[in-house]
Every structure is written in structure tokens, then in C-alpha cells.
Amino acid sequence: MTKTSWFLQKLKANGLTLLLIGLIVYFWFRPPASVDHLHLPAPEVNISTPAGEKPLSAWRGQVLLVNFWATWCPYCRHEMPAMQAFYQAHKHEGFEILALSLDANQAEVDAFMREKDYSFPAPLALAGTSQQFGGVDKVPTSFVIDRRGVIRHKISGQVHRARLEELVLPLLAERPDSSAPVAQPTARPERPARPPAIAGAGPAPR
């Protein structure tokens, strides 16, 4: 074996080792999602659909996962297979996902969704939508809304199948009139919008 062949084999082996280490770090040390349990009315924002804009209240009677994400966010991309599987399993029970993209181009988002064979809606988030939800500083961030239009949970970070089962299945089993009284939201001070960071990657740049 020549020195060149030996060097190339070592380089290949080292590259595979580094790749394996990188995958281990990604899957074992990715930031865990945090969950805030809320009981606040969902904001009356508009959602872009192929038929035009619709108010969020048009989905009243369904349990919603409103997910803020972007195609350039690795954690967003990683959570979507679990979202799709859960959606397929429970959409007939009145579960819906609105994946509101923070990308700039709807055509690019549509191409991504087709490539991955995801079937839940993924429109661009209209201007001001994330602020109406109290501000989205990191992506992915998701809000679980019950059949009455009440935000019950906020998930900061990527969601997994077990988390969706924990948070969504009890709401699917609820009667629309079985929830506790809705708290009135406190006024939020105005703050300038800034681009969200990737969850776990530190604060967004000002």
C-alpha cells in the first residue's frame, strides 16, 4: 500500500468517525422542548389558504397545532415526520395542523412539502401573526389550541410523537364545552419584531 492510499483510507475513516460523532451529538444533545401550559384565547389572526385568507376561528371545533417553522431550521425539518404521522393518525378525529412558515417564498415551501410528502397545510405566516401569538423568538414554536379556540399549550422547541400524544389526545377527547373558563390575556408591551433564532441556538440577533 502506498503512502497516498494509506493517507486516503485514514482520511475516509476519520471522516466517517466525525460524521458519526456529529450524528450522536445532534440526536442526543439537541435542545429539549419546553412546554408552557396556558389557558388563553387564541388571537383572531388571518391564515392564508388557496381560497384566500381565513380567520383562525374558521377552524373552531377542531384541535389545532399552530406551528411556526422555516425550511432553513434543522429542528423544524426534524420534527415534521412525527407531525405528519400524528396528523395522518388523528385528522379524522378533528385534529388539524397549520404549519405557518417564516420563509419568504411560498413556492419554495410548497416544493419542500411536496418533496417530503407532507399533507398538512403550510402557508406563509402573514405579517404580524407571530406577534399576535405573543412573539416567537425561536423556531420551531408550536401552540396547541382546543376546540373552543383556547390556547392550552405552548411548545418551544421541536415536538415528538410522544409529546403530541400527551398534549393533543386529551383535547381530542374533550367536549367543546368542557373546558374551564378562559383567562383574559394581559396587555403585552409593544416590542419591535426581530427574526427568530433556531430553538436552542441562543437569542435571535437584534
CA nearest to 48, candidates 106, 118, 104, 113: 106
Kindly tell me the sign of the dihedral angle through the C-alpha atoms of 146, 81, 75, 132: negative
Q: Which CATH code is given to the segment(s) 33-184+194-198?
A: 3.40.30.10
What are the contacts of 176-180 at 24+ separation with CB within 8 A?
Answer: 176/61, 176/147, 176/148, 177/148, 179/39, 179/146, 179/148, 179/150, 180/39
Question: pLDDT tens, 106-145?
Answer: 999 999 999 999 999 999 999 999 999 999 999 999 999 9
Is 80 exceeded by the pLDDT of residue 196?
no
This prediction's pTM: 0.76
**Largest pairwise CA distance in the chain:** 77
CA nearest to 144, candidates 200, 203, 68, 72: 68
Is 80 exceeded by the pLDDT of residue 50?
yes
Return the pLDDT at 136.
93
* Residue 151 to residue 173: CA distance in whole angstroms: 16
Is 80 exceeded by the pLDDT of residue 179?
no
What does the domain layout of the chain look like in residue ranges? 1-30, 33-184+194-198
Return the pLDDT at 32.
62
**34-41 and 46-49: which strand pairing?**
unpaired
